[in-house]
Structure formats: structure tokens, C-alpha cells
């Protein structure tokens, strides 16, 4: 259980693609999580000043290194929670789990690995991003009962090509297909998510793909002042949703306060916590 | 003349925004160029193996550091060429310059600064990118006779907001407005350019903004094998042009062979060298 997190991660990398939604990947993710928790238990915790109303953050610290901000209410840090969740997924019975608890568990797995990399590598954004893709695409595949692809064939009159995409889940005829971009944070690059949705709408017809990006958080820490803020561009999101394409849901593990309010404007953009997906996935095509 | 390129660049940074299309910026760019040339004359040149038909590349080298690939036919390396170009722009008479010569001059200025940064900094993509933005936005502003803005007010029923954009040139009523993204290379991030054009089309109406991105090159060097390739995604460009928005021109300083061929497919995407812009700018709205 107390293996090196990076060894456990390398093992997942090797076998991940074989069956993305399969139980072996969930077991491997559990090993990474408990290895990260063992590592983080030996690290210190530093309080951060949260400038976000109603949210508290801290950072893991080791020597001179400080991790990204960790949401105190979402972080569980108990490997048994993942074990219980794993067992429930295995039995295909999630009724004893609330959306909030699921969000906490998945957030804790994701942020533990991010914090481990923050404390052991220099400026490595790619490894946490790839792990987060593994974690979320596995859970999506489990929930939808089908493995994703990352390219899609385009036949268009005299044109035939393969378009690289984010994760695409094809549930079959007369059922929705899902378009799943996965990001640890978005900033100004988020316009790509809407643009890819637009391409899918244009090539295959509007409504065929449900766009459901999953994002970890939008926090940014001022290292010197130890202050945490959320970088949000809600007006730009509204313009993208009105003028580029329609995303069905935007799931966060740590929902930014400002984006949560987009549910209340008109036309609304549906921003919610990822735990909800497990209970509403079948209703999204309605 | 033999000032440090970085000092000359810092001086440009301080004064650039005051009058983007003004002669002072062109003079400052000339100082940076000659300082870079002095620096590069003291560096070695290493031949590269070009895997691109009809193009030759080399790299500047100093100690263990090697610059990005430089196109041998486009690189002039003569500060007097910029001086002559500067004088012609000052007189507003470009008739003695061919589009090819203008492309060579601007390419040389841009790639000299890139090579200087490659040889003196570690993994710094931002500084060359910003300098390239200065260079191109200045020349665009000179040619169009108006300075650009980088945000645009959106009034949409009960919504009022400022949208950050690439460079926007407003030529006034009954004349085209230009949407100018500037990139040293694009790769998969290029979808952003089409997405921003789509937003402008959607918010203000199709045809109001002419999308004319300017890109330096798409070369990639394999450090170990010393081989140069161009990374191009022509099929994806066609899909973006058909399904996201219409770009009017895509200007390159070093036109990638594969993208040049997009002029010949139907529907065509107009990809050409940036020198052409100086002679066709008035005709682009037709």
C-alpha cells in the first residue's frame, strides 16, 4: 500500500488503455491514492488565506516546496473512502453514496496526486493533467458502460479524415454520445472546449453529442501572500455558450463560486459538482 | 547599434503602446534587430537536415545551446534591409519592394530575436511571442493607418461586457474591421483563432471582421537527429473553416508547404506570405 506514488502511476499508465472503464484501473487508482496519502502524511500543512467567500484552503508543504491550494472541506484524505466507493462501483450500487460524498472522494484522489507532484517535481503540469484524465475518463466509462475513443471519422462528401478529439463515448444508435474534455483548470484556453463542441455539432448535427467537460478547480495561489483566489470569466462563458455552441453540463470537483452563479442567469449555463453526474447521466439527453 | 538586444527590447516594451503604428516603434525594432545580428554574428551556424521539400534550414549555436530552425532562403541578416524598409514605410512608398523581399526582411527581424532568446534563455517562449506581436501589430497598424485595441465592448440586450480579443483594427463606418491573431506557431491551439472569429461573427454579424492571423512558422526540430519538419493539420483546418468560421487570409512569414496547398483545394483556404498583405490590404474586403 505504501508504494512510491510515481511507480504506482507508471503501472497505471502501462495498462490504462486496455479497458478504460475496467476494475483493474480503479484498483490501480486506489494504489496511487494510498501511496500519495502516505507521502502527504509526512508533509506539513500550511494554512492559506482564502479570498473566496465560504471556502477554506490549505497547502501541503515540504522543505521549500508548497503544493497548489487544497479545499479543506472537500479533502478527505482517507484511503478507506476510495475502497468503499470502489466496492460500490463494483456492485453497481451507489445508493448509499450522496453526490457530495462522491465529489469529495474524487476530489481527494485528484488533488492528492497533484500535491504529490507539486512537492516532488518542478513546474510539471502535464503529469497531474494526465492522471486527472485517467481518473475522470475511467469513471465516465464505468458510468456509461462503454469505453471512449479519442478520434472520430469524418466523412463529408469528397472528404474523409480522422479528427482528433477529447474523449468521445458512443452509446449506440438512438442514444446520446458524450463529448468529454477533461482539464485540471481552464483559464482562457476554455474557448477550445466550446470550439470542439461546435465542430461536432457542425459535422454530425446539433444535439448528437452532449458536451460535458469535467474540470478540477480554478484556484490560483499567490505564493508570497499565501492568498487563494479563483480565476473566472463568467461573461466570456456566456458569450461562448450563446455564440459558439451549447455545452450540456460543466462539472467541477471544486465548483468555483462565480461559475456556480451561472445557473441563475438567463439563459443559464449548468455548472455543477461532478458527483451529480453519477445520478443524472441517464437523464442528460432529455 | 551594438546595444544588448534585451535592453533594446525592454526599451520597446516601455513605449510600444503609446503609438503602436508610429515611427518610434519601427526605429526601436531596428535597434533590436541590429543588436541581435551583432550577437548572432558571434554565434556559430549548424546545418540542419530539412525533411521539407524545397526548403533549407540551419540553426544558430553557441556552446551547448542551439536555436530554433532558420530558413536559409528567407534569412537575410543585413540590418540595412530593415533601414531601407523603414525609410520606404516612412515615405509611404513601397513600390520598390516586392512581397518576397518584404517577407524576407520581416522574417529576418523576427527569427533573429527568437534565435537570440533561444541561445540566452531556457525554455522562454513568451518573450519571442511578445516581440513578434509587437512587430506584426506595428506593421499592420502602419498599413491600415489606425492603431489596434485588445478588447471590444459587447452590448447584447440586457448584457454589457468587455470581451478580451486578439488585435482588433477598426477602420470606421462602411469599412472593414480586422481581427488579427499573432502567433509564432499554432499546433493544436489554432482552433482558438477560428473560435474567436466565430464569436466576432456571432456578436457583430458575419463579414464585419476580416480574420487575418499572422504566424511565423510551423517548424519543429528534432534536437538529436538535427532534422526539421513542419507540423501541419490541413484536414483539421478545412473542418474548422467549414464548421466554425471563415478566416479571410492566413499569413505566414515562412509558409508551410502543406498549408500552401490549401489554396488549391475546394473550398480553398487562402494561405500566403505576409509580404502580400502590404499590397492587398485594401482589396481584402471585396
The predicted-structure confidence for B53-99, as pLDDT tens digits, reads as follows 999 999 999 999 999 999 999 999 999 999 999 999 999 999 999 99
What is the Cα–Cα distance from A145 to A176, expressed in whole angstroms? 13
Q: Is residue B60 within 8 Å of B45, Cβ to Cβ?
A: yes
* B20 has a pLDDT exceeding 70: yes
Q: Please write the tens of the pLDDT for every residue from A190-207.
A: 999 999 999 999 999 999
Report CA dihedral (A104, A108, A114, A117) to the nearest 10 degrees. 180
What is the Cα–Cα distance from A212 to A231, expressed in whole angstroms? 20
For chain B positions 6-25, those within 8 Å of chain A (CB to CB) are: none
Say yes or no for a CB contact (<8 Å) between A196 and B192: no
Please name the helix (run of DSSP H) or strand (run of DSSP E) that holds residue B115, with its range, or none. Answer: helix B99-120
Per-chain mean pLDDT for chain A:
95
C-alpha distance from A182 to closest chain B C-alpha (Å): 16
Chain B partners within 8 Å of A240 (Cβ) = 195, 199
Instruction: State whether residue B146 is helix, strand or coil.
Output: coil
pTM above 0.90, yes or no: yes
Strand order in the sheet with A182-183: A182-183, A214-215, A250-252, A271-273
Tell me the average pLDDT across A201-219. Answer: 96
ipTM of this predicted complex?
0.92
pLDDT band at A160, cuts 50/70/90?
A: confident
Report CA dihedral (B147, B14, B192, A160) to the nearest 10 degrees. 90
Instruction: State whether residue A144 is helix, strand or coil.
Output: helix
Q: Please write the tens of the pLDDT for every residue from B229-257.
A: 999 999 999 999 999 999 999 999 999 99
Q: Please write the tens of the pLDDT for every residue from A54-108.
A: 999 999 999 999 999 999 999 999 999 999 999 999 999 999 999 999 999 999 9
Instruction: State whether residue A44 is helix, strand or coil.
Output: strand
Say yes or no for a CB contact (<8 Å) between B235 and A192: no
Q: Please write the tens of the pLDDT for every residue from A22-60.
A: 999 999 999 999 999 999 999 999 999 999 999 999 999
**Nearest alpha carbon to residue A154 among B237, B198, B270:** B237
> Is B242 at the interface with chain A, CB within 8 A?
yes
Q: Please write the tens of the pLDDT for every residue from A267-277.
A: 999 999 999 99
Q: Please write the tens of the pLDDT for every residue from B109-132.
A: 999 999 999 999 998 999 999 999
Say yes or no for a CB contact (<8 Å) between B199 and A163: no
pLDDT band at B188, cuts 50/70/90?
A: confident
Amino acid at each position: 500500500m505504501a508504494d512510491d506514488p510515481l511507480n504506482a502511476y507508471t503501472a497505471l499508465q502501462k495498462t490504462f488503455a486496455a479497458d478504460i472503464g475496467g476494475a483493474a484501473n480503479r484498483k490501480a487508482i486506489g494504489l496511487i491514492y494510498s501511496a500519495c496519502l502516505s507521502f502527504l502524511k509526512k508533509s506539513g500543512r500550511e494554512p492559506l488565506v482564502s479570498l473566496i467567500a465560504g471556502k477554506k484552503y490549505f497547502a501541503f508543504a515540504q522543505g521549500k516546496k508548497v503544493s497548489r491550494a487544497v479545499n479543506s472541506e472537500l479533502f478527505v484524505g482517507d484511503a478507506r473512502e476510495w475502497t468503499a466507493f470502489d466496492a460500490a462501483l463494483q456492485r453497481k450500487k451507489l445508493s448509499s453514496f450522496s453526490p457530495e460524498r462522491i465529489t469529495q472522494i474524487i476530489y481527494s484522489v485528484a488533488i492528492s496526486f497533484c500535491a504529490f507532484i507539486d512537492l516532488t517535481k518542478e513546474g510539471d503540469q502535464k503529469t497531474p493533467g494526465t492522471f486527472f484524465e485517467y481518473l475522470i475518463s475511467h469513471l465516465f466509462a464505468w458510468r456509461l458502460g462503454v469505453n471512449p475513443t479519442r478520434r472520430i471519422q469524418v466523412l463529408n462528401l469528397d472528404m474523409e479524415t480522422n479528427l482528433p478529439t477529447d474523449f468521445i463515448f458512443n452509446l449506440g444508435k438512438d442514444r446520446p454520445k458524450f463529448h468529454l474534455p477533461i482539464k485540471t483548470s481552464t483559464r482562457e484556453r476554455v474557448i477550445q472546449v466550446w470550439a470542439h463542441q461546435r465542430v461536432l455539432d457542425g459535422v454530425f448535427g446539433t444535439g448528437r453529442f452532449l458536451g460535458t467537460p469535467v474540470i478540477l478547480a480554478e484556484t490560483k495561489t499567490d505564493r508570497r501572500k499565501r492568498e487563494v483566489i479563483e480565476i473566472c470569466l463568467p461573461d466570456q462563458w456566456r458569450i461562448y455558450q450563446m455564440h459558439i455552441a451549447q455545452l450540456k453540463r460543466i462539472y467541477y470537483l471544486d465548483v468555483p463560486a462565480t461559475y456556480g452563479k451561472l445557473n441563475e442567469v438567463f439563459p443559464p449555463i449548468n455548472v455543477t459538482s461532478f458527483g451529480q453526474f453519477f445520478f443524472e447521466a441517464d437523464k442528460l439527453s432529455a
